[in-house]
Amino acid sequence: MSSLPIALEGSARALDRSLVRGVSWTAGVKGATLLLSWVSTVIVARILSPADYGLVAMATVYIGLTTMITDFGIGSAIIALRECSDEVASQLHVLSAVIGLTGFAVSCAAAVPLSKFFRTPALVAVLIALASALVFDSLRTVPVAMLGRQLRFKALALLEAGKVIVAVAFTLALAAAGRGYWSLVLGNVIASIVMTIIVLIVLPQRLLMPQFGRLKSVLRFSSNFLMGQLAWYGYSNADFIVAGRVLGRLPLGEYTLAWTLTSAPADKIMAVFGRVMPTMLAAAQRDAQALRRYFLLFTEALALLIVPAATGLALVAPDFVPLVFGAKWNAAVMPLQLLCFYSVIHILGTPTAPVLQVSGQASFPARCGVATLLILPPAFYFCGARWGTIGVAAVWLSIYPFVLIPVFVRVFKTLELRVRDYARSIAPAMTSGVVMTAIVWTTRSAASHWTLAPRFAVEVAAGAAAFLISIYLFERNRLGVLREFIQTIRS
């Protein structure tokens, strides 16, 4: 990173200052909601059974896909297309609501066939209840996108924090009342209703009948965006479909817990960076040097955040899972460890697609996504049928990295980026991760005769200290460059 230019001028400096402050403020809120979500997950998991989680996981595979379709990339188009006027936004508000209602109707019709596919009659009511949130979510799409367009990250973070708080409160209350899987369902639906009411009161949006001639550019962008998203959703949820269909509710519940624990920090990290990366990269799209610089900055920041979290969780998983969730979840340990290392690869690959999109090559990552969709599901089926949830998780770590190679090659070519420069950007996190692994293994060996709780506490403390100390000792100069960059854009 030391080779990257630091000086910024004019509007670029103002944009950087706004984004850094927004990221800093949003990260604080995300951290708090992550902690709250983890506490809630621990409490609810001790109350509910793996079968309860498995049932809801069957429904969320479909609902997640439907949510993506009903969003239709309208919010992303409003943010990316600066010529999108308030009048066009009002037309899109109506269009979004119509799409949301259509999604709800289609979901109600699909509930019975899907319940038969999974051989689970209780799935019908769960699907209909979750699908009702599609209508309320669609009414928030345009107002929330307008906040993003205005770089109002603080308001966006507060809205998301409010939704998490409402969902956690109702989920815990319903679980304590003995409502079983309905606590997972209704907590999220109620949160969606409450936040939609708040958004529409605070950010009222006009309603205008859509004139599709004026929406042509928006719909073209959103359809291209949706194609890539659908391919991603298809292969990223194929593991759940295979586990539910081939292995059943119990293994699916165990795999779902492993995935939830792994994805929680990754999702929160990307919830922050996913908002600012497209905006920042789009602003630099006509300056190859700036685009390369931002790509490396995002890569290094993401590595420093995800590597210690994912590696540390994988290392302590054998003690963490039985201690926190109980021995009934022990089968989730190995899938959890495999998925932790996959999450590192996945997060480090996320800056590539925005770079290609702002460089006029959006079709390339979409085509790669379609190819991935053709490769991963058969692999999940083959490995899952033979080795259960461990085989399913192993596919992510053994095959997925290879489908990312063409995307990285195209990005390096586009940015005229050398492999050694990229390696230098991830070296601080990777080096410290190796040190942390050695320290935790040594600590576990020395404390092998201890009881579970104190051994786990010592492992966590030793791992965190090892990572921070190694970063300071071995990468002090690079951290100084990062600090100089932040101070420069704040001044």
3-class SS at 120?
coil
Tell whether 32 and 90 lie within a shared domain. no
Residue 448 carries which DSSP code?
Answer: T
Q: Kindly report the number of other CB atoms within 10 A of residue 490's CB atom.
A: 12
Tell whether 38 and 117 lie within a shared domain. no
Do the Cβ atoms of 269 and 302 come closer than 8 Å?
yes
Tell me, yes or no, whether 225 lies in a domain.
no
Report residue 338's pLDDT band, with 50, 70 and 90 as the boundaries.
very high
Q: Flag whether pLDDT at 172 surpasses 50.
A: yes
Q: Flag whether pLDDT at 475 surpasses 90.
A: no
Q: So what's the pLDDT on residue 12?
A: 55
Tell me, yes or no, whether 336 lies in a domain.
yes
Tell whether 91 and 203 lie within a shared domain. yes
Tell me the C-alpha distance between 421 and 428, whole Å.
13
Tell me, yes or no, whether 398 lies in a domain.
yes
Q: So what's the pLDDT on residue 470?
A: 85
Residues 6+ apart with CB under 8 A from 269: 30, 302, 305, 306, 347
Tell me the C-alpha distance between 401 and 404, whole Å.
5
Q: Flag whether pLDDT at 473 surpasses 70.
A: yes
Residues 6+ apart with CB under 8 A from 306: 265, 266, 269, 343, 344, 347, 348, 429
Tell whether 415 and 439 lie within a shared domain. yes
Tell me, yes or no, whether 11 lies in a domain.
no
Final residue of a structural domain among 214, 231, 253: 214
Report residue 482's pLDDT band, with 50, 70 and 90 as the boundaries.
low
Tell whether 34 and 52 lie within a shared domain. no
Tell me, yes or no, whether 234 lies in a domain.
no
Residue whose C-alpha is closest to residue 203's, from 254, 152, 247, 262: 152
Q: Per the structure, how many domains does the chain have?
A: 2
Report residue 344's pLDDT band, with 50, 70 and 90 as the boundaries.
very high
Tell me, yes or no, whether 122 lies in a domain.
yes
Report residue 221's pLDDT band, with 50, 70 and 90 as the boundaries.
confident
Tell whether 453 and 355 lie within a shared domain. yes
R_g of the chain, CA atoms, integer Å: 23
**Structural domain of residue 384, as residue ranges?**
1-6+20-42+242-491
Tell whether 290 and 424 lie within a shared domain. yes
Tell whether 24 and 53 lie within a shared domain. no
Tell whether 413 and 477 lie within a shared domain. yes
Q: What is the pLDDT of residues 354-408, one digit of tens each?
A: 888 777 777 788 889 889 999 999 999 999 888 889 999 999 999 999 999 999 9
Tell whether 210 and 312 lie within a shared domain. no
Q: So what's the pLDDT on residue 4?
A: 42
Runs of H (alpha helix) within 177-248 = 182-202, 216-242
Q: Flag whether pLDDT at 219 surpasses 70.
A: yes
Tell me, yes or no, whether 223 lies in a domain.
no
Q: What is the pLDDT of residues 423-457, one digit of tens each?
A: 988 988 898 899 999 999 999 888 888 888 999 99
Tell whether 33 and 98 lie within a shared domain. no
Q: What is the pLDDT of residues 7-53, one digit of tens each?
A: 444 455 655 565 566 666 666 776 777 778 778 888 888 888 888 88
Tell me, yes or no, whether 130 lies in a domain.
yes
Q: So what's the pLDDT on residue 282?
A: 67
Tell whether 170 and 301 lie within a shared domain. no
Q: Which residue has the higher pLDDT, 467 or 217?
A: 467
